[in-house]
Amino acid sequence: MIYIRADMNAQIATGHLMRCLSIADALRGLGEPVRFILADEQAVSLLKQRGYDAIVLHTQWNHMDEELPVLSQVIRNEHIDKLLIDSYQVTQRYLAELSKLVTTVYMDDLNLFEYPVDAVICYANYWKKFQYKINDKRTTYLLGMKYVPLKQAFWNCEAKIISEKADNLLVLTGGSDPLNVTEQILDSIDTYQFQTIDVICGIYNTNYNKFVKKYENNKNIKLHQAVSNIEQYMKKADIAISAGGTTLYELCAIGTPAISFSFADNQLDNVRQFQEDGLIDYAGDARMDDIAGTINQYLTSYRNEFELRKEKSEKMQKMVDGKGAIHLAEALLKI
């Protein structure tokens, strides 16, 4: 059995837990049981829905050194021998102490310090900037987009069929859209050049009801909030506009040509690397740039150039096959 130490709450949202669930699903598919270890009970119901048990430490999620005595006892009681850890709250001491007790695997995308663990996972497209000591035989490194742990809906994507005409646009602006980029985009483009424009608003987007009223007479704009089947909208779309983050990897797996933008520092490496790799064009930082104008320029090119969209799509799917969770599960079993 492999154990996974991760948390979910209002401060850190669902990202850490969801990517770990993708890995857990892949492990389960390979016949390996998985159990989660949590600081508190906030993620217990979600894990139960997905068929996973959890051990709750009853500790503070953001003071992980303090949980070491409790977690160490759990490791002994449960006879744990392999632990995947996914949290930005870890310290060097925390990882070093656990590595004395179990085989440790750490999920990284910040490179905060040198990690005293048995294996490091970094699937971020910008992993090379971290200059990991990959020749150090004491640590296994699982690096690059081969290991992006997307959910099961993205594991078996067929090659994207590129339409001659780009009639369907998808707009994705993240969980909260604090700068109201959604409205900037919709108000700047000629919406009637598309047959449909699906706009996905995150659960924390406080402007959703305002948008519903504002655009109610524009019949080709379809507003949705917190959808569970995002992959269906990606498959339907001929072009997507998206904030940086995991969504860009999902678009790659589906093969939907995309234009990205950023609105936070932690998105910058991601969006810039996608542009540098020739996969997804970057329209700029919404905090300081005229992203609506740049998005319009890219939209014109994409709508007019079938071959450009086809080339982008093929390259995206070649770089992200969607099976990263399976690749990680197979690697975890060998460590």
Q: Which helix (H) or strand (E) holds 222?
A: strand 221-225
Q: Which residues, including other chains, have CB under 8 Å from residue 158's CB and lie 6 or more apart?
A: none
How many C-beta atoms surround the C-beta of residue 302 within 10 A? 21
Structural contact between residues 32 and 98, judged by C-beta atoms closer than 8 angstroms = no
Tokens of 266: 């932690």
Catalytic residue flag (residue 16): yes
16, 58, 63, 79: which is the annotated catalytic residue?
16
Alpha-carbon distance of 44 to 54, in angstroms, equals 7
250 is annotated as contributing to ligand binding: yes
Alpha-carbon distance of 243 to 267, in angstroms, equals 8
Q: Which residues, including other chains, have CB under 8 Å from residue 242's CB and lie 6 or more apart?
A: 170, 171, 172, 173, 248, 251, 258, 259, 260, 261
Tokens of 93: 């001491």
Burial of 237 from C-beta contacts in 10 A (0-12 / 13-18 / 19+): buried
Alpha-carbon distance of 89 to 61, in angstroms, equals 8
| Cα end-to-end distance, the chain, whole Å | 13
Alpha-carbon distance of 203 to 206, in angstroms, equals 8
Alpha-carbon distance of 148 to 125, in angstroms, equals 9
Alpha-carbon distance of 156 to 150, in angstroms, equals 11
For 305, the 3-state DSSP assignment is coil
Residue appearing with tokens 């894990």? 47
Residues annotated as catalytic are: 16
Binding residues: 250
Binding residues for substrate: 250
